[in-house]
Structure 1
């Protein structure tokens, strides 16, 4: 019955489901002399755990005192300047009159852009009309060259009929 219990505890140990009390039972079993042969390969592991629990670090750990350096004070000053840069403009922002003037200038600028846009749109339609005239002139030139060819052929026909 004890071997069956140990086998269940080892299975629980591998699944990380054992309690501290169950782990103590396993350590006591494997530190004893009557370990079953099928569990003999677990004995060094549990003996190591028991031995390593008794180890202690005996050297003194020197603690260094922190000295403030110039770089630390520079970083504190930089943070202070940054905070002032963020806080001061909110207190000393533009007055109501300055806001109204800026809004007036903005509206005047938008009107000027609107007029420029209208002028550009008119120029664009004139360029489109000019492009149409250019295309019509090209078509007319092609028709004129055909007319010249027609005229030459007609003259030849009339000359042959009169002879």
Structure 2
């Protein structure tokens, strides 16, 4: 939950840049995988980092996608672990969101929270927990900018 609050949400809300999110993750002892010795490209749009003990993964990415027929710039920061499932990640998300009136749970989606923004036609921020077949559960903070 601390990583989501200190790295992912500031990145999703654009309070931290891509590089700033990586620095914040490094400050929390996240590193690039030991086998990955390739330097990051100057214009890298995604990076995956692991915790020092190897239990947690952090993926930071940005790029343009099409959302309901409109081009949107999306920044995503996701946390996952091979030891924690979607239920535990959902609890972590609830800790981050707490009883803050700016966050609301999406109807019909028990693992998704939307943040009320002053200009919803310009940007949206949400947290969701996803889990797919043959994939580990991910708690992600995502900022969508139209």
Fold match by TM threshold 0.5: no
Structure with the higher helix share, 1 or 2: 1
Instruction: From the CA coordinates, give the structure whose radius of gyration is larger.
Output: 1
**Which TM-score applies when normalising by structure 1?**
0.18
State the structure with bigger RCO (CA 8 A, min sep 6), 1 or 2: 2
Structure with the higher strand share, 1 or 2: 2
**Which TM-score applies when normalising by structure 2?**
0.20
